[in-house]
């Protein structure tokens, strides 16, 4: 009886710990679908967010590579360590570094540096297109879902000279977690979040000196994309089966444009991998897919479906790449996804048939939202998108839009003149028997805004402050990294009402550097991001004393 009562107490305690534990943010944009929706936030509210404070900032020992510096922060809400329970912020740095920060104290908890190890020499050249170094946001294994085991069977008679069967072990409330990170040599490292030590030998995954974006992990398979042909490497989607004895690596090569998207590949509810390709040759019969949204089955990575805009030739000619990570979300029993690019419009696609029989017909295509000037640099949609569902069941899609809006595209709700950029919001609606993206609101003016994050009815975004022009319009040639850094302004964190776009909070002059392709993280009442000067900023509410 005591054993049964003890087991019951342990199970109850475990369930309570799981129910009350702080939330995590284990991957770029918060989930494999790249929705950037923090569903479990309770401290940040529409009414209270105006009281946000800068809790801490921490400058890390990391050298920027070109304009790249710190990747998107990840959060482990409640980790048992040799120094007690900790909420840790995990941040990767461009100089092959990985950091853990005590989220409550704003102090460095541990640091790990990865030594370059490849037969291919390390690239000594660095540009804003191919920076070298570490460029992919890591991923943390998610916590197991707590399931209450079946009640133990009635005690059986103890056989002579023997013992009764031991009760089944209860699930541990503190499971072993792992951080997976790819260093600049293409090696995959499995790192312990408690102390930064490697948990097994490094695994060969990607070619060295490439430019991978954020990693994604589903069903023990890790996915990454490569773009821009950096290091002379082929562009494509790569996967490594972490459960296989030989850690098998498979790949799908685009044979054309590089795979784009700040958030790396997006993964649907059925495991389908989605990614966008940039400019290049287009010949499906030869397996060449430029300016195309690809769908690949998990693990084997063979082409499943694709969508190519009907004006692809024009997009390629004007360097208007499809360059974001699509966002995937459930809608009326199926997955929908939204992609976009520098042209300045969004594509709504049905996962069951991305582009119809001809692969050129989307579910819905918006008019031009921005980029009236047909500018290939610093205009249109960049980075990644976001999606959330309100209490009425309305599905929303949010996008960063660089540059001014197209004068013919109108939003029902505006929040001032837009000249540099904005966050634009749409509702997924049924109109005349068709599923469309209906414009809802546009935010105030922002400089090259980061992809937004939604939490508890609040949209967070950063006006990056970055000077994103590439070509010297009146002088010829390209702006250098030093030129662009010198012309950039400091970043500003904003909070907006998720249903109107009304400004609720601004950090003003508290941030002193700009961000380059940064991404926000929201967890446990904190908003985190990194800047070009390798500083992590944490906004939230001071702890009650």
Q: Whole-angstrom distance between the N-terminal and C-terminal Cα of the chain?
A: 43
pLDDT at res. 17: 43
Residue 446 per-residue DSSP state: -
pLDDT at 174 over 90: no
| Mean pLDDT on 233-248 | 95
pLDDT at res. 385: 98
The contacts of residue 262 (CB under 8 Å, 6+ apart) are 28, 213, 214, 324, 325, 382, 383, 384, 451, 517, 519
Q: What is the pLDDT of residues 195-216, one digit of tens each?
A: 999 999 999 999 999 999 999 9
pLDDT at res. 155: 41
How far is 118 from 246, CA to CA, in rounded Å?
19
Of 444, 448, 436, whose CA–CA distance to 400 is shortest?
Answer: 448
Q: Are 360 and 347 in contact (CB under 8 A)?
A: no
CA angle centred on 100, ends 139 and 533, rounded to 5°: 95
How far is 151 from 372, CA to CA, in rounded Å?
65
The contacts of residue 250 (CB under 8 Å, 6+ apart) are 238, 239, 241, 299, 300, 301
Of 268, 270, 275, 269, whose CA–CA distance to 254 is shortest?
Answer: 275
**What's this model's pTM, rounded to 2 decimal places?**
0.91
pLDDT at res. 9: 43
pLDDT at res. 169: 42
Lowest mean pLDDT among 205-209, 232-236, 329-333, 437-441: 232-236
Report the percent of the chain where pLDDT is more than 90.
82
pLDDT at 16 over 60: no
| Mean pLDDT on 80-87 | 92
User: Residue 535: CA atoms inside 13 Å, Cβ hemisphere, count?
Assistant: 17
Q: Are 40 and 75 in contact (CB under 8 A)?
A: no
Sign of the Cα pseudo-torsion (207, 212, 214, 219, in order): negative
The CATH T-level fold of domain 24-147+173-540 is: Methanol Dehydrogenase; Chain A (2.140.10)
CB atoms within 10 A of CB 128: 19
pLDDT at res. 125: 85
pLDDT at res. 21: 64
Residue 280 per-residue DSSP state: S
Distances (CA, A) of 507 to 229, 389, 437, 442, 448: 37, 27, 31, 20, 16
**Domain boundaries in the chain?**
24-147+173-540
How far is 81 from 412, CA to CA, in rounded Å?
51
Lowest mean pLDDT among 15-19, 96-100, 539-543: 15-19
pLDDT at res. 159: 37
pLDDT at res. 363: 98
């Amino acid at each position: 009886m005591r054993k049964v009562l003890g087991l019951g107490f342990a199970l109850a305690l475990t369930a309570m710990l799981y129910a009350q534990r702080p939330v995590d943010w284990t991957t770029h944009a918060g989930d494999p679908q790249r929705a950037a929706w923090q569903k479990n936030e309770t401290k940040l509210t529409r009414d209270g967010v105006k009281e946000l404070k800068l809790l801490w900032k921490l400058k890390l020992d990391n050298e920027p590579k070109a304009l790249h510096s710190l990747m998107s922060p990840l959060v482990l809400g409640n980790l048992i360590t040799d120094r007690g329970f900790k909420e840790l912020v995990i941040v990767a740095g461009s100089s092959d570094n990985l950091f853990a920060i005590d989220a409550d104290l704003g102090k460095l908890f541990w640091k790990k540096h990865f030594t370059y190890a490849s037969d291919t020499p390390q690239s000594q050249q660095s540009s804003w297109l191919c920076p070298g170094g570490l460029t992919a946001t890591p991923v943390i294994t998610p916590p197991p879902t707590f399931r209450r085991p079946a009640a133990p069977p009635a005690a059986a008679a103890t056989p002579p000279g023997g013992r009764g069967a031991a009760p089944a072990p209860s699930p541990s409330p503190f499971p072993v977690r792992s951080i997976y990170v790819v260093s600049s040599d293409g090696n995959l490292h499995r790192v312990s979040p408690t102390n930064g030590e490697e948990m097994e030998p490094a695994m060969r995954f990607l070619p060295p000196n490439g430019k991978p974006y954020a990693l994604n992990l589903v069903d023990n398979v890790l996915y990454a994309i490569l773009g821009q042909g950096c290091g002379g490497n082929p562009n494509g989607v790569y996967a490594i089966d972490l459960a296989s004895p030989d850690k098998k690596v498979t790949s799908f090569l685009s044979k054309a444009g590089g795979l784009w998207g700040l958030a790396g590949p997006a993964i649907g509810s059925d495991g389908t991998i989605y990614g966008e390709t940039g400019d290049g040759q287009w010949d499906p019969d030869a397996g060449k897919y430029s300016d195309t949204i690809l769908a690949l089955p998990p693990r084997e990575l063979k082409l499943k479906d694709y969508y190519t805009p009907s004006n692809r030739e024009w997009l390629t000619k004007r360097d208007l790449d499809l360059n974001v990570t699509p966002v995937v979300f459930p809608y009326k029993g199926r997955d929908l996804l939204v992609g976009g690019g520098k042209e300045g419009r969004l594509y709504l696609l049905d996962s069951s048939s991305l582009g119809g029989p001809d692969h050129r017909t989307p579910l819905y295509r918006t008019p031009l939202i921005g980029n009236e000037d047909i500018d290939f640099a610093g205009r249109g949609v960049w980075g990644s998108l976001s999606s959330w569902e309100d209490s009425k069941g309305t599905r929303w899609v949010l996008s960063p839009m660089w540059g001014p809006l197209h004068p013919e595209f109108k939003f029902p709700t505006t929040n001032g003149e837009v000249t540099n950029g904005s966050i634009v919001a749409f509702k997924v609606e049924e109109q005349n028997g068709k599923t469309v993206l209906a414009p809802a609101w546009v935010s105030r003016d922002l400089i090259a805004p980061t992809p937004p994050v939604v939490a508890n009815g609040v949209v967070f975004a950063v006006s990056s402050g970055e000077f994103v022009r590439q070509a010297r319009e009146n002088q010829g040639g390209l702006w250098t990294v030093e030129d662009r850094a010198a012309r950039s302004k400091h970043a500003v964190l904003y909070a907006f009402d998720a249903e109107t776009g009304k400004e609720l909070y601004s950090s003003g002059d508290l941030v002193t550097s700009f961000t380059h392709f940064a991404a926000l993280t929201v967890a446990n009442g904190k908003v985190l991001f990194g800047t070009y000067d390798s500083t992590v900023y944490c906004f939230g509410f001071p702890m009650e004393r």
